[in-house]
Structure 1
Amino acid sequence: MRRVVLCYPEGKHKALTLSYDDGRTADRRLVGIMNRHGIKGTFHINSGLLGTNDRLTKEESLELYAGHEVSAHTVTHPTIARCSKEQLVYEITEDRKQLEQIFGYTVRGMSYPNGSFNRQIKEMLPFLGIEYARVVESTKTFAIPDDWLEWKPSCHHKHDLMGMAETFVGLHKQQYLYLMYVWGHSYEFDTDNNWEVIEQFCEYAGGRDDIWYATNMEIYDYFQAFRQLKFSASQDFVWNPGAGSVWLSVDGRIVEAKGGVQTSLA
């Protein structure tokens, strides 16, 4: 029997993603830093607050977040564990509708506003079109989430970010897949007067050939695509019913299982 295991695109075994909430004007500087170093991320937006106080406008958001993912964060940022089911449905569904109208693609992920959620909310999310949801509790590890509706990041940017980055970059055992997930709010860099934290991190962690830089949704979709692969019982070949490629290590040899075709693993 062949040893067939999942890899990230192009056979990589490390992935990095960032996640920032609220759509504040400080995202301008953050996105500029990320773009300079080829780092991708997801920005969770309250559609009902766009253009108010220090929030970006619809027009600026559309241009700024190009190449990244925009995801839901509810319309008005309530503590949703305190909301009625009716308000919860409105806050998430209306946020999706408004963001989809602005950005032109299906919004399928979110982060919980104020980190607020419970079991009932998680059970409702698939019926509201949400496939992943990020929490605020950090793992301090580089593990792949077991529960995508309670997706725990590796760390907040305030919590030993460079120490985590150095450990992550140094990982070399390719029998594992690693994911570094950093979250926060861009306005915190203004409040704490420490933009050098994210600048140093992006310069250090960006532009590396052995890291896949992806949005939250790209990572989620990639793992779902792997789960949809149809392997022969002998693992001599695999059928990929999806549109995108999935990369596999077959006895140490990297194989691209292209979308819509059958690929030999022999």
Structure 2
Amino acid sequence: MKTGTAALALCMAAVLTVFSGCSTAGGGEAGGTVSTADEKEDRREMEFYLTYPDYNTKAFTVSYDDGTIQDKKVMSLAKKYGVAVTFAPNTRWWGTSGWMDHEGYRVWVQRPTAAEIPHFYDGFEIASHTATHVMLAEVDDATIKQEVLDDMDYMEKLTGQRAIGMCYPGNSYNEHVIEVLREYGLIYGRSAAVLYKYELPEDFMSWLPTCHDAWEGCPELSDKFLKKNTHRLLCFYIWGHAYELDKPSLIEGTTRWGNLEALFKKMGEADNVWCATNGQIASYVLATRGCERTDDYFLNKSSMTVYAMHGDNRLEIAPGEKYIFADGSIEK
């Protein structure tokens, strides 16, 4: 988990994933010689780099859409292995049920009632998915407002939790939709398009997950993620619909529920991964991007504590504090 930028690093206003080592005085072209492997490793060990709150540079997050009774089983597995999940229900569909033909397979879809909701998602983040699963890029602003604010207000009324993120129904969104949602206080929006990589988004309002939970390559991709040794902040993000977990697995000899449990166990037991909700990751990374970094110091200009490593030293840099690279001191 030890990586990061060298002493001469780019300003934190840029995307976090850009952080990489740069040459310092005493080696390379400046000194007219090529650094030895030992010298490079020494510099690497003294690098200052940002981490997640647990001092790791890798995070795992999950989101499930539509709000069905299968969410309960996902929550049970998440609690068992210490995994964080974000759920995005459609608030005006609560209490409905029926068969759904989904990609050639019939699944039973049943949603909890409004009476069950106040404690149904206790301990988990709730994101907006609109009130009735409307395609946001295909409707006017008045409908967007009605669908999104009605969804957020109703959920807050029943649970006390106000959404800070959107999971776009049908992957329907554009720049105008993003602009409108920002006005409603949302800080992230999850796409249904997948990245097959672990990079964080430049704009959290267009956040592409790593892969769908049922994808055949998910186990291999998660193994590669765990083996990564990086000083950049990365994130392994899966998404899906909990009712789809009742469908046959795409991986021969397995079940979708079994595959999900194996993934949760793998990530939950890993000591180099921060398991966090969508909102926790977006909030933290956005806070770090609002900080200031120069050749001499790192200034936390955000309202959150920022975590970092400098060599073997674990740092907690509180809001308003300045960390001085040269002597490792903190100015309040």
Q: TM-score, with normalisation over the residues of structure 1?
A: 0.91
- Which residue is equivalent to 1:253? 313
Rounded Cα–Cα distance in structure 2 between residues aligned with 1:67 and 1:177: 25
Answering whether residue 238 of structure 2 is matched by residue 238 of structure 1, we say no
Q: Equivalent of 2:70, from 8, 20, 26?
A: 26
8 Å Cα contact 1:240/1:258 also seen in 2: no
Rounded Cα–Cα distance in structure 1 between residues aligned with 2:120 and 2:271: 25
- Which residue is equivalent to 2:146? 90
Aligned residue identity for 2:309? S
Answering whether residue 256 of structure 2 is matched by residue 168 of structure 1, we say no
The alignment partner of 1:72 has SS state of: coil
Identity of aligned pairs, percent?
A: 29
Q: Equivalent of 1:224, from 286, 302, 319?
A: 286
Answering whether residue 202 of structure 2 is matched by residue 146 of structure 1, we say yes
Q: Give, in angstroms, the shift of residue 157 of structure 1.
A: 0.8
Rounded Cα–Cα distance in structure 1 between residues aligned with 2:131 and 2:57: 36
**Residue deviations 1:106-164 (CA, integer Å, cap 9, x gap):** 31111111111122212221112221110111000011111211100000012122111
Shift in CA distance, 52/177, structure 1 to aligned 2, threshold 3 Å: same
The alignment partner of 2:269 has SS state of: coil
- Which residue is equivalent to 2:80? 36
Question: Where in structure 1 are there 5+ consecutive unaligned residues?
Answer: none
Q: TM-score, with normalisation over the residues of structure 2?
A: 0.74
Task: Please tell me the root mean square deviation across aligned C-alpha atoms, in Å.
Answer: 2.0
Q: Give, in angstroms, the shift of residue 248 of structure 1.
A: 1.3
- Which residue is equivalent to 1:50? 94
Answering whether residue 132 of structure 2 is matched by residue 76 of structure 1, we say yes
Give the stretch that moved more between structures: 49-58 or 89-98.
49-58
**Residue deviations 1:200-237 (CA, integer Å, cap 9, x gap):** 111222122211010000001101221333557721x6
Q: Give, in angstroms, the shift of residue 263 of structure 1.
A: 5.4
Give the stretch that moved more between structures: 192-201 or 18-27.
192-201
The alignment partner of 1:99 has SS state of: helix
Q: Equivalent of 1:8, from 48, 52, 57?
A: 52
8 Å Cα contact 1:241/1:261 also seen in 2: no
The alignment partner of 1:11 has SS state of: coil
